[in-house]
């Protein structure tokens, strides 16, 4: 890797005037960018990508320049160092890349329409205008945009419009900010607006393909989030407005552009008449995430991309802190446990995983280093651990100082630890360093040895792992008399009988599951916990199941010993216990071959697990039911359908008929199950085609997801062929949604061969279409999540091993080969015992 110098070292922009003329018809952009700044030397460089540079002047005089596409640069020779005003004229194509300035496509009443938007993080601002495209190069921006404007169109940007002259929209000058946060959009937009208590204009914008009421939920959450953060951070929101915009084509999930946050439609638009609670929770956490960034990320920005984790893990924690304050009745931290904790524990256990903090020089590497389970989920768990250690008061006080010290500037992870440590009187950095710079996490083994209670730490691996003797400073969160932190490999906590008597409860470590670690109890301790199962709250139970699942996957405990424990959780009324229970049950599917007596036994076991809650909850969501019931129902119904429960299948069929031709009105929480059951049990070509057409016609992202889930479950070869033929048709399946389709068909035993053949044949196309995207490597992750036979493992290796040296793919291929290998080994070693245990538990 070349040792790059940052362009900011030689040239420090202070103000940009970006004038753009965008022609959608001709698909071209023409621009004039003026940059006032300070050149530290006569030879400077600014970034560009895919721009055709026509001229460069300094102080009105043409200067020599050289376009270096390899370095994404324009190298400029100034007459001398010092203050300078550069003016650069250029043109660029408008392409469907979902990066830089790009079109989104959608339909209203069958008419095809286009909306222009932007996505600049990490390094695509340089595709829109020449700039020093580095987070540290903060400057002010004045945008002036002209486009082939039609009546009824609206344009919005980071700041309010100042005036329009000769068709040019001039926007107010921004505050000092990083280039990757500049944004604008135009097209036929609708909006809903309101104002916060402190006078910030809040707005939600979307295309007119959506009903106006479907913007209301987001508006309320956005307003409340801004108000929450102004209070929590003790720092005012510094811009006049906070716009939220849903874009039909969007490669990430959402993007925190300052004052103009962009979202996938699925994460902003909520039909008030028919949206499931978990979808509302997701939308709320996404909005809260992006708005947390308005301070942490936008006001204070990481100095360099190596601290991107800091931005993202912080926002990932704050989305739960904020939503918990807005909707305490949701118990949103429970979702943190089933989503973030589970994702981090799974991924971080594979040898070869990256650490949260990774040194990176070349920003192009950032995207390939972007492992969501680590950067977001593990990172957020790190901060949750810090918050548990220092408490909310110190957190808020530390943050306030951090914002005051670094606002409109940049900071590093160490700056944050210093501010929090100062507020809390603890050396936070010393505790956190090991967690951030080392990959992986520890398993705590608790056992009674010669009457003494001993706790030991060692790195936890799923699959083979090189024991590097890593150690962590581990918050023990014990309910026994024990130190706060485990800082050594082992600790003797003393006489077990005595400790047990004092505590009056079974030993528990990592109470609340906020430490990024697993606990493996010896048999005595585990039996003690299970004997007092009733005193465990929902998070404790989820944690127990989650830890057992991972311990079984790693072969530290035998799956066959875990199976009989599941029945005792089947009567739970907690949605997160159901989530953990059925996640574990789902992991048993790999041990049975479809359509064999073994599968029949597993189905019978599913029936045993789900029967009671099935009768309690039924299909129909009730108006006043507990959130836990609403959220549990899909898990339970899904289990009953897998169990081939005749009544459940008949009920689904009846609901399908009842809602014929208006299936989008099926209650959203059960919609995908009704559709999937129909496709599975009553599939006809006519129904299949109708649902496929509905997918194309609807603008409801949730309904689209449900249709995708149902259609990909078909067992008919002809229909599978139809689906696969649609994979490359962007008018049917948007590239942003393709992965879900691919996963659905690959996970379907009747479609797996065809999907796998498709991927191998179309790899070059996929690389060309989504190769620049962070999603690209996750296609490999998806495959590794599904394959579990020696034959598929061999095919996986045959196809991907030759690609090991492809930039950005090395780590993913190495890790995923390990993931499939360990699964194949696990099945081979334990299949007989597990199927026997299933049979015993089912009857």
Residues forming the site for Zn ion (CB under 5 A): 312, 315
Which residues are registered as beta bridge partners of 142?
Answer: 17
The 74-113 site mask, x for binding ligand BES (CB under 6 A), equals ----------------------------------------
Run of H or E including 37: strand 28-39
Q: Where are the beta strands (DSSP E) in 450-582?
A: 452-459, 474-475, 485-486, 490-495, 518-521
Which residue's entry shows tokens 């419009």?
161
Considering beta carbons, is residue 84 or 322 the nearer one to ligand BES?
A: 322
**Per-residue x/- marks for ligand BES, 109-128, CB under 6 A?**
------------xx------
Best CA proximity match to 47, nearest among 16, 73, 65, 68: 73
Q: Exposed/middle/buried for 111, CB within 10 Å: 0-12, 13-18, 19+?
A: exposed
DSSP 65-102: EEEETTTTEEEEE-SSSEEEEEEEEEEEE--SSSSEEE
Binder of residue 253, out of Zn ion, ligand BES, none (CB less than 5 to 8 A by kind): ligand BES
Selected from 19, 255, 332, 424, the binder of ligand BES by CB under 6 A is 255
**Parallel, antiparallel, or unpaired: how do β-strands 300-302 and 409-411 relate?**
parallel
If one asks whether residue 283 binds ligand BES (CB under 6 A), the answer comes out as no
What's the min distance (Å) between Cβ of 368 and ligand BES? 11
User: Considering the rule CB under 6 A, would residue 347 count as an interface residue with ligand BES?
Assistant: no
Partner whose footprint covers residue 252, from Zn ion, ligand BES, none (CB < 5 to 8 Å by kind): ligand BES
User: Closest separation between CB of residue 267 and ligand BES, Å?
Assistant: 7
**Taking CB under 6 A as the rule, does residue 282 contact ligand BES?**
no
Choosing from 49, 169, 241, 293, the residue that interacts with ligand BES (CB under 6 A) is: 293
Q: Which helix (H) or strand (E) holds 19?
A: strand 11-23
Least distance CB 261 / Zn ion (angstroms): 10
- Residue 111 host element (H or E): strand 111-119
Which one of 138, 210, 289, 671 is in contact with ligand BES (CB under 6 A)? 289
> What is the rounded distance in angstroms from the CA atom of residue 250 to the CA atom of residue 151?
25
Active-site choice (72, 290, 775, 812):
290
- Closest by CA to 510, choosing from 443, 424, 458, is 443
Q: What are phi and psi of 422, to 5 degrees?
A: -60, -45
Give CA–CA dist 172/674, Å, rounded. 51
Is 361 a known active-site residue?
no
User: Using N-to-C axis directions, what is the helix angle for 668-681 and 685-697, rounded to 10°?
Assistant: 150
Task: Pick the closest to residue 455 from 541, 382, 523, 520 (CA basis).
Answer: 520
Task: Return the one option of ligand BES, Zn ion, none that residue 530 interacts with (CB less than 5 to 8 A, by type).
Answer: none
Among Zn ion, ligand BES, none, partner that 122 touches (CB below 5 to 8 angstroms by kind): ligand BES
Q: Does 307 bind ligand BES (CB under 6 A)?
A: no
C-beta neighbour count of 556 within 10 angstroms? 15
Partner from Zn ion, ligand BES, none binding residue 51, C-beta < 5-8 Å depending on class: none
Both tokens of residue 332? 């949103």
Site for ligand BES in 27-66 (CB under 6 A): none
Position of minimal CB gap to Zn ion: 315
Q: How far is the CB of 510 from Zn ion (least distance, A)?
A: 27
Residue 337 burial (C-beta neighbours within 10 Å; 0-12, 13-18, 19+): buried
The reply to whether 262 sits near ligand BES by the rule CB under 6 A is no
Separation CA 700–CA 581 (nearest Å):
30
Which is closer to Zn ion, CB of 312 or CB of 553? 312
Distance CA 568, CA 539 (A): 16
Residue 11, classed as helix, strand or coil, is strand
Q: Which of 252, 360, 401, 687 binds ligand BES (CB under 6 A)?
A: 252
Are residues 632 and 613 in contact, defined by beta-carbon separation less than 8 angstroms? yes
> Judged by CB, which is closer to ligand BES: 339, or 629?
339
Q: How far is the CB of 312 from Zn ion (least distance, A)?
A: 5
Tell me if 340 contacts ligand BES by CB under 6 A.
Answer: no
Minimum CB–partner distance for residue 120 and ligand BES (Å): 9
What is the smallest separation between the CB atom of 293 and ligand BES, expressed in angstroms?
5
- For position 739 contacting ligand BES by CB under 6 A, the verdict is no
Stretch that binds ligand BES, among 250-258, 656-664, 671-679, 696-704 (CB under 6 A): 250-258
CA distance 161 to 151: 17
Closer Cβ to ligand BES, 319 or 547, answer by number: 319
Q: How far is the CB of 316 from ligand BES (least distance, A)?
A: 6
| Of 255, 120, 105, nearest in space to 182 by CA | 120
Query: How many Å from the N-terminal Cα to the C-terminal Cα in the chain?
Result: 60
Which of residues 220, 249, 290, 700 is near ligand BES by CB under 6 A?
290
Q: How many amino acids of this chain bind ligand BES (CB under 6 A)? A: 14
> Stretches 20-28, 52-60, 286-294, 522-530: which one binds ligand BES (CB under 6 A)?
286-294
Candidates 72, 133, 227, 256; binder of ligand BES (CB under 6 A) is 256
Nearest distance from residue 691's CB to Zn ion, in Å?
A: 34
Rounded to whole angstroms, how far apart are CA atoms 711 and 726?
12
Assess 253 for contact with ligand BES (CB under 6 A): yes
In DSSP terms, 58 is beta-bridged to 61, 86
User: Which does residue 509 bind out of ligand BES, Zn ion, none, counting CB within 5 to 8 angstroms by kind?
Assistant: none
Selection from 263, 115, 267, 249 nearest residue 736 by Cα: 249
CA-closest candidate to residue 438, choices 414, 469, 407 = 469
Residue 286: contacted member of Zn ion, ligand BES, none (CB under 5 to 8 Å, by partner type): ligand BES
Taking the C-alpha atoms of residue 484 and residue 494, their distance in angstroms, rounded to an integer, is: 15
For the chain, how long is the longest CA-to-CA vector? Answer: 87
Q: Does 133 bind ligand BES (CB under 6 A)?
A: no
Contacts of 201 (CB under 8 A, 6+ apart): 193, 194, 195, 240, 241, 242
Q: How far apart are CA 142 and CA 175, in angstroms?
A: 10
The distance of closest approach from Cβ of residue 178 to ligand BES in the complex, given in angstroms and rounded to an integer, is 12
The helix-helix angle for 627-642 and 277-293 (nearest 10°) equals 120
Task: State the binding partner of 255 from ligand BES, Zn ion, none, CB within 5 to 8 A by kind.
Answer: ligand BES
Binding residues for ligand BES restricted to 370-389, rule: CB under 6 A: 376
Least Å from the CB of residue 311 to ligand BES = 7
Answer for which of 254, 519, 675, 809 binds ligand BES (CB under 6 A) is 254
- Nearer Cβ to ligand BES, position 300 or 424? 300
For residue 812, the minimal CB distance to ligand BES (Å) is: 17
Pick the closer one to Zn ion by CB: 291 or 315: 315
Q: In this complex, which beta carbon is closest to ligand BES, that of residue 290 or of residue 664? A: 290
C-alpha–C-alpha distance, residues 209 and 334, integer Å: 34
Residues with catalytic annotation? Answer: 290
Note the residues at the interface with ligand BES (CB under 6 A). Answer: 121-122, 252-256, 286, 289-290, 293, 312, 315, 376
């Amino acid at each position: 890797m070349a040792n790059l110098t940052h362009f900011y070292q030689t040239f420090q922009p202070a103000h940009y005037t970006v004038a753009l003329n965008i022609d959608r018809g001709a698909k071209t952009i023409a621009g004039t960018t003026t940059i006032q700044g300070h050149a530290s030397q006569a030879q400077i460089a600014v970034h560009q990508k895919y721009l055709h540079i026509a001229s460069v002047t300094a102080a009105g005089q043409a200067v020599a320049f050289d376009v270096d596409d390899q370095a994404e640069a324009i190298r400029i020779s100034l007459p001398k160092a010092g203050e300078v005003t550069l003016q650069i004229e250029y043109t660029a194509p408008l392409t469907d890349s979902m990066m830089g300035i790009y079109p989104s496509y959608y339909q209203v009443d069958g008419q095809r329409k286009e909306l222009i938007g932007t996505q600049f993080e990490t390094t695509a601002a340089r595709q829109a205008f020449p700039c020093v495209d580095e987070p540290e190069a903060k400057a002010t921006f004045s945008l002036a945009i002209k486009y082939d404007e039609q009546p009824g169109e609206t344009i919005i940007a980071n700041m309010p419009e100042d005036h329009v002259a000769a068709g040019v929209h001039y926007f107010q000058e921004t505050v000092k900010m990083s280039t990757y946060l500049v944004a604008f959009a135009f097209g036929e937009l609708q909006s809903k607006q309101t104002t916060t208590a402190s006078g910030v204009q809040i707005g939600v914008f979307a295309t007119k393909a959506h009903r106006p009421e479907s913007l209301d939920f987001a508006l309320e959450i956005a307003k409340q989030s801004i108000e929450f953060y102004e209070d929590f951070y003790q720092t005012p929101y510094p811009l006049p407005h906070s716009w939220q915009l849903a874009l039909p084509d969007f490669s990430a999930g959402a993007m925190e552009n300052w004052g103009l946050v962009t979202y996938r439609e699925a994460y902003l638009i909520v039909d008030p008449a028919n949206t499931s609670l978990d979808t509302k929770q997701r939308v709320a956490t996404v909005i809260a995430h992006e708005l947390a960034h308005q301070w942490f990320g936008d006001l204070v920005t990481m100095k360099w991309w190596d601290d991107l984790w800091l931005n993202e893990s912080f926002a990932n924690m704050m989305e739960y802190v904020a939503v918990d304050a807005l909707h305490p009745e949701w118990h949103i931290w429970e979702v943190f446990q089933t989503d973030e904790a589970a994702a981090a524990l799974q991924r971080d256990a594979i040898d070869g995983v990256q650490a949260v903090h990774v040194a990176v020089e070349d920003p192009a590497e950032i995207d390939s280093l972007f492992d969501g389970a680590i950067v977001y989920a593990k990172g957020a768990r790190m901060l949750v651990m810090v918050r548990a250690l220092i408490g909310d008061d110190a957190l808020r006080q530390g943050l306030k100082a951090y914002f005051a010290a670094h606002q409109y500037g940049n900071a590093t992870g160490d700056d944050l630890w210093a501010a929090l440590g100062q507020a809390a009187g603890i050396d936070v950095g010393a505790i956190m360093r090991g967690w951030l710079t080392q990959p992986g996490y520890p398993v705590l083994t608790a056992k009674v040895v010669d009457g003494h209670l001993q706790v030991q730490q060692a790195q936890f691996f799923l699959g083979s792992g090189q024991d590097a003797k890593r150690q962590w400073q581990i918050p023990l969160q014990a309910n026994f008399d024990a130190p706060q932190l485990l800082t050594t490999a082992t600790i003797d906590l003393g006489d077990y009988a005595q400790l047990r008597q004092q505590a009056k409860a079974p030993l528990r470590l990592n109470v609340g599951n906020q430490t990024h670690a697993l606990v493996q109890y010896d048999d005595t301790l585990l039996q003690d916990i299970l004997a007092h199962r009733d005193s465990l709250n929902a998070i404790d139970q989820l944690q127990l199941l989650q830890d057992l699942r991972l311990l079984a996957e790693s072969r530290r405990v035998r799956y066959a010993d875990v199976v009989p424990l599941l029945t005792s959780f089947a009567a739970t009324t907690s949605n997160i216990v159901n989530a953990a229970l059925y996640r574990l049950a789902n992991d048993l599917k790999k041990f049975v071959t479809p359509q064999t007596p073994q599968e029949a036994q597993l189905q019978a076991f599913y029936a045993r697990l789900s029967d009671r809650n099935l009768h309690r909850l039924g299909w129909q969501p009730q108006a006043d039911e507990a959130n836990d019931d609403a959220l549990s129902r899909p898990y339970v119904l899904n289990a009953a359908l897998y169990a081939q429960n005749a009544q459940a299948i008949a009920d689904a069929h009846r609901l399908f008929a009842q809602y014929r031709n208006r299936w989008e009105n099926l209650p959203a929480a059960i919609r995908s199950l009704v559709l999937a059951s129909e496709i599975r049990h009553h599939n006809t070509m006519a129904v299949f085609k109708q649902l496929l057409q509905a997918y194309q016609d609807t603008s409801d992202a949730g309904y689209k997801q449900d249709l995708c889930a149902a259609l990909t479950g078909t067992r008919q070869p002809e229909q599978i062929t139809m689906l696969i033929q649609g994979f490359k048709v962007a008018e049917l399946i948007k590239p942003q949604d393709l992965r879900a389709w691919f996963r659905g068909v690959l996970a379907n035993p009747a479609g797996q061969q065809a999907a796998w053949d498709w991927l191998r044949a179309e790899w070059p196309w996929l690389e060309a279409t989504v190769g620049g995207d962070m999603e690209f490597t996750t296609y490999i992750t998806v495959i590794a999540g599904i394959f579990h036979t020696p034959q598929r493992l061999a095919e996986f290796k045959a196809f991907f091993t030759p690609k090991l040296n492809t930039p950005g793919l090395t780590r993913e291929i190495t890790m995923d080969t390990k993931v499939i290998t360990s699964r194949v080994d696990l099945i081979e070693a334990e299949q007989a015992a597990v199927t026997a245990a299933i049979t015993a538990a089912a009857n």
